[in-house]
Amino acid sequence: LELEKQLRGALERNELQVYYQPKVDAKTNGIVSFEALIRWFNPEMGTVSPVEFIPIAEKASLIQEIGFFVITEAFEKLTQWQRKYSDELSMAINLSPVQFRSGEIVSALESLFLQYELNSRSVEFEITEGLLLSNYCNVEEELKKLESLGVTLTMDDFGTGYSSLSYLRQYKFDSLKIDREFIMDLEARESARKLVSATIAMAHELGMTVVAEGVETEEQKSILVASKCNFLQGWLFSKPLPAAEIDSLLEKESFK
Ligand code: G
Ligand code: G
Ligand code: MN
Ligand code: NA
């Protein structure tokens, strides 16, 4: 309850910040995209993890406001980075189940694309299976509306939920994000290597691209490259960073 009370004032007190973690092209290792990840720095409690406060925000109906903050921050940065560095750069944003509830997310996004002069194709939404399980709304309809905007839809944390495969059959995703759990095991376990390479092959058969999260070692990277994974994300390349530090990284990249 204390956390909820603090969270209510966090936006006004400027305690929320968006960090960005690069995703690289597995073939070139060049930065092609970012995942926007929210951070909360509270003077009394210190850093609070989104794993802790996102569920509270969802229950307390604060997620709409927080989600809108993340989207506008991420759009603003993406617009700047596209102008300064490359219009091929894209941005992934995590969407919570509850953000669908009001039924206003799609029209809000339409206005934001116009306002920021952003092409919807450069925006990706990462959706965990939790969303698909929820009965907040007609999920299928909301996903179709999102799809019609032209954004990329990614199934996040793939492989960890109850029925990832059945959701793939039911809904149309453009991309899969393989959960860190599987990446962690790549070096030690033959079974993880087989699961990951079969998952990538399956996704490609279905016309989807694949991103691996939590890539920490060169060996994991080599295994993923050999399995034809399209994009890589993890500490091997960069931790999530504040926008200013992403600028320093982008200064060093060579864009065509
Ligand atoms: O980067 P970190 O380990 O703190 O992220 C932890 C979890 O919080 C991840 O599952 C991530 O998807 C989630 N998360 C981070 N930022 C956001 C956000 O803006 N919206 C939602 N819904 N989840 C987020
Ligand atoms: O659940 P989601 O995929 O949205 O969240 C990604 C989470 O993984 C974030 O909390 C982020 O900080 C964390 N993360 C990103 N890269 C790595 C990594 O290479 N290793 C570990 N241990 N965590 C990572
Ligand atoms: Mn994610
Ligand atoms: Na994930």
Ligand 1 closest atom vs CA 37: 16
- Indicate the domain borders of the chain: 2-252
* Residue whose structure tokens are 């990446």: 183
- 116, 147 in Cβ contact below 8 A? no
pLDDT score for 135: 65
Class of domain 2-252: alpha beta
Mean per-residue pLDDT, 163-188:
91
pLDDT tens digits for 91-112? 999 998 788 877 789 999 999 9
Is the pLDDT at 1 greater than 90? The verdict is no
Mean per-residue pLDDT, 179-188:
96
The residue nearest atom 13 of ligand 1, judged by CA position, is: 50
The residue nearest atom 24 of ligand 1, judged by CA position, is: 94
Band (161; pLDDT cuts 50, 70, 90): confident
Ligand nearest to the CA of 127: 3
Distance 181 CA to ligand 2 centre (A): 10
For ligand 2, residues with CB inside 6 Å are 21, 37, 94, 126, 156-157, 180, 213-216, 234-235, 240
Distance 94 CA to ligand 1 centre (A): 7
Is the pLDDT at 175 greater than 80? The verdict is yes
Band (237; pLDDT cuts 50, 70, 90): very high
Distance 114 CA to ligand 3 centre (A): 25
Mutate to test the pocket of ligand 1, among 18, 38, 66, 100 (most ligand atoms within 8 A of CB): 38
Least confident of 36-50, 124-138, 145-159: 124-138
Ligand 1 closest atom vs CA 99: 22
Mean pLDDT (the chain) is 93
pLDDT tens digits for 192-207? 999 999 999 999 999 9
Residue 153, C-beta contacts closer than 8 angstroms, at least 6 positions apart: 124, 125, 127, 143, 146, 147, 172, 173, 174, 175
pTM of the model: 0.96
Q: How many CB atoms lie within 10 A of CB 181?
A: 13
